[in-house]
């Protein structure tokens, strides 16, 4: 991720959007009139409420998106004008960066300095990157291969239509950017459903979308629960594609529902990514980076390196190094400028994480550091390191999505690819070595969407990102994602 560092100066409580939804260019309450409370996970206090959008609201939003799709103000907009709008949006996010960071810190709990330098900067970069695409998207001219007659055959790319986008709570603003930017660059219109726990930066982004001048209905934002608003979006007949980031279980459910109408689906799901330290690795790089790879964002990271493999003869040194790095991370509320690890997002998530730690401990994992809740106000979980050699231990096998590392000693380098791949997931892997041949051999052998060598957490708009196996299908970012938001049409003309 980008390392440009800006000190967040303004730590006042941010002004929050009023919790109405953006449908067809208007800010509206849910038709049912209900609201959902939003909490600050550091204090457990209610900070506001947002509309509880349900099926009828989704229907209005999809109709608005459908109308906008065929409205000339969007469908006939020149590519350069679409680029200008995306750039304007990037500029507006930049102008409001401190405020967005404070909203994210309050709503999600993450450290405000990280929200400012990683999340907000990531969102800006994403819109800037995709702002460059509309004028470069094109088709191909192709020779017909099987005929001696003359044809002129070519392909054009057309926007896939109305896209439903469902995002999680761990990177609310970044996920909104990863979803919206390529869809808008492709000329689609969107109904976005943020996570129920963290709706505010998406709503603030909606205000900026309007300020940038996108035509009404191009971006619609419906807040609500997954089983209501999310489900209605997945089932709506006028939605051509669902882009989802979240849990593997909900991803499977969405894939099954979408199969009924053959809606296009892309899924970015969970992970249990390996971090592999080879015997020749530079431990001064490997130890702090492996620590970040697992504990960044309090471990609420789909590609977190949560299975740490270290050679048996270096294992104690690595374990000591990571333990010491972890205990130096300041745990605190997101809005505290010195915080490195905030709370986890909700009470439900805290209970899930603590339950997994208990199950791991009961199944024989040795908890070397942490292992409990910290304090009794706020959803703080101690950074936790478990050691286990049992590949069936829940902390080895299951995604935790909290600040929990499973460390595993290994004996045989030639067995590493098998160990790394012994998981249903395949999102990422981190490899630390100075041996280029070993690095590339592991990179080829590990079944994962991204292999980071001597680094971690580098997610960039220009690099494809996504999963093998049950980490999902489809790729986000880079030119590759545009294939998910466009249909390719072949035109074949007999001359």
- The binding site for ligand NAP (CB under 6 A) comprises 166-170, 193, 195-196, 225-227, 230-231, 234, 245-247, 250, 253-254, 268-270, 302, 352, 399, 401
**What is the nearest approach in angstroms of ligand NAP to the Cβ of residue 200?**
13
Binder of residue 439, out of ligand NAP, Mg ion, none (CB less than 5 to 8 A by kind): none
CB-based closest residue to ligand NAP: 226
Candidates 83, 104, 196, 268; catalytic one: 268
CB of 35 to Mg ion, least distance (A): 14
Comparing CB distances to ligand NAP, the nearer of 311 and 428 is 428
Cα atoms found within 13 Å of the Cα of residue 405, Cβ hemisphere only:
31
Q: 195 vs 429, which CB is nearer to ligand NAP?
A: 195
302 touches, from ligand NAP, Mg ion, none (C-beta below 5 to 8 Å by class):
ligand NAP
Q: Which does 250 bind (CB under 5 to 8 A by kind): ligand NAP, Mg ion, none?
A: ligand NAP
From ligand NAP, Mg ion, none, which one binds at residue 193 (CB under 5 to 8 Å depending on kind)? ligand NAP
Nearer to Mg ion, 197 or 486 (CB): 197
| Complex with ligand NAP: residue 417 or 481, whichever CB lies closer | 481
Closer of 38 and 442 to Mg ion (Cβ): 38
107 binds, among Mg ion, ligand NAP, none (CB under 5 to 8 A by kind): Mg ion
**Residue with smaller CB distance to ligand NAP, 170 or 275:** 170
Which partner in ligand NAP, Mg ion, none is near 268 (CB below 5 to 8 A by kind)?
ligand NAP
Map the footprint of Mg ion across residues 106-165, applying CB under 5 A.
107
Exposure on the CB side of residue 447, measured as CA atoms within 13 A: 16
Q: How far is the CB of 439 from Mg ion (least distance, A)?
A: 40
Could you say which residues in the range 92-111 bind Mg ion, by CB under 5 A? 107
Smaller CB separation from ligand NAP, 157 or 475: 475
> Closest separation between CB of residue 353 and ligand NAP, Å?
8
**Separation between Cα atoms, residue 395 and residue 403, nearest integer Å:** 11
Residue 399 binding: pick among Mg ion, ligand NAP, none (C-beta 5-8 Å cut-off by kind): ligand NAP
> What's the min distance (Å) between Cβ of 39 and Mg ion?
5
3-state SS of the chain? CCCCCCCCCCCCCCCCCCCCEEECCEEECCCCCCEEEEECCCCCCEEEEEECCCHHHHHHHHHHHHHHHHCHHHHCCCHHHHHHHHHHHHHHHHHCHHHHHHHHHHHHCCCHHHHHHHHHHHHHHHHHHHHCCHHHCCCCEECCCCCCCCEEEEEEEEECCEEEEECCCCCHHHHHHHHHHHHHHCCCEEEEECCCCCCHHHHHHHHHHHHHCCCCCCEEECCCCHHHHHHHHHHCCCCCEEEEECCHHHHHHHHHHHHCCCCEEEEECCCCEEEEECCCCCHHHHHHHHHHHHHHHHHCCCCCEEEEEEEHHHHHHHHHHHHHHHHCCCECCCCCCCCCECCCCCHHHHHHHHHHHHHHHHCCCEEEECCCECCCCCCCECCEEEECCCCCCHHHHCCCCCCEEEEEEECCHHHHHHHHHCCCCCCEEEEECCCHHHHHHHHHHCCCCEEEECCCCCCCCCCCEECCHHHEECEECCHHHHHHHEEEEEEEEEC
For residue 125, the minimal CB distance to Mg ion (Å) is 25
Kindly tell me which of 107 and 231 has the beta carbon lying closer to Mg ion: 107
Shortest distance in whole angstroms from residue 245 CB to ligand NAP: 5
302 is catalytic: yes
Binding residues among 167-226 for Mg ion as defined by CB under 5 A: 197
Annotated catalytic residue: which of 83, 104, 188, 302?
302
Q: Which does 476 bind (CB under 5 to 8 A by kind): ligand NAP, Mg ion, none?
A: none
Least distance in angstroms from the C-beta of 108 to Mg ion:
6
**Around Cβ 353, how many Cβ atoms within 10 Å?**
23
* Range in contact with Mg ion (rule: CB under 5 A) among 32-40, 70-78, 135-143, 349-357: 32-40
The residues that touch Mg ion, with contacts defined as CB under 5 A, are 38-39, 107, 197
| Active site amino acids | 268, 302
């Amino acid at each position: 991720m980008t390392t440009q560092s800006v000190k967040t100066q303004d730590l006042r409580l941010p002004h929050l959007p009023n919790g109405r939804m953006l449908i067809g260019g208007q800010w509206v309450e849910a038709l049912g009139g209900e609201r959902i409370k939003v909490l600050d996970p550091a204090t457990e206090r209610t900070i506001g409420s947002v509309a509880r959008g349900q099926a009828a609201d989704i229907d209005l939003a999809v109709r608005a998106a459908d109308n906008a799709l065929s409205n000339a103000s969007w469908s006939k907009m020149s590519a350069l004008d679409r680029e200008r709008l995306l750039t304007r949006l990037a500029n507006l996010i930049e102008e409001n960066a401190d405020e967005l960071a404070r909203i994210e810190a309050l709503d999600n709990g993450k450290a405000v300095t990280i929200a400012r330098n990683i999340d907000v900067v990531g969102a800006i970069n994403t819109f800037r990157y995709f702002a460059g695409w509309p004028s470069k998207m094109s088709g191909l001219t192709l020779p017909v291969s099987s005929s001696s007659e003359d044809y002129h055959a070519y392909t054009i790319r057309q926007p896939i239509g109305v896209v439903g986008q469902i995002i999680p709570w761990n990177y609310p603003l970044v996920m909104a950017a990863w979803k919206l930017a390529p869809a808008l660059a492709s000329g689609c219109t969107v109904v976005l459903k943020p996570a129920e726990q963290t709706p505010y930066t998406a709503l603030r982004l909606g205000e900026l979308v309007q300020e940038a001048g996108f035509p009404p209905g191009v971006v619609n934002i419906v807040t609500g629960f997954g089983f209501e608003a999310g489900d209605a979006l997945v089932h709506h007949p006028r939605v051509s594609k669902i882009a989802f980031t979240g849990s593997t279980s909900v991803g499977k459910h969405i894939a099954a529902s979408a199969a009924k109408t053959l809606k296009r689906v892309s899924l970015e799901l969970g992970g249990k990514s390996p971090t592999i330290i080879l015997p020749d690795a530079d431990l001064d790089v490997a130890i702090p980076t492996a620590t970040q790879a697992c504990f960044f964002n309090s471990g609420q990271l789909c590609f977190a390196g949560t299975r740490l493999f270290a050679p048996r003869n270096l294992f104690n040194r690595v374990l000591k190094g990571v333990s010491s790095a972890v205990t130096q991370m300041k745990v605190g509320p997101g809005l505290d400028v010195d915080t490195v690890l905030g709370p986890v997002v909700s009470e439900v998530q805290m209970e899930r994480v603590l339950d997994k730690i208990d199950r791991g401990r009961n199944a024989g994992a040795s908890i070397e550091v942490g292992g409990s809740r910290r304090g009794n106000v706020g959803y703080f979980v101690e950074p936790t390191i478990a050691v286990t050699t049992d590949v069936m231990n829940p902390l080895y096998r299951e995604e935790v999505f909290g600040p929990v590392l499973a460390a595993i000693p290994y004996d045989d380098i030639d067995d590493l690819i098998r160990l790394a791949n012994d998981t249903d997931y395949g999102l990422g892997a981190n490899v630390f070595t100075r041996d280029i041949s070993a690095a590339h051999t592991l990179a080829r052998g590990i079944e994962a969407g991204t292999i980071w060598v001597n680094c971690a957490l580098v997610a960039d708009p220009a690099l494809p990102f996504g999963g093998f196996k049950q980490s999902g299908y489809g790729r986000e970012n880079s030119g590759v994602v545009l294939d998910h938001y466009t249909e390719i049409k072949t035109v074949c003309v007999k001359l």
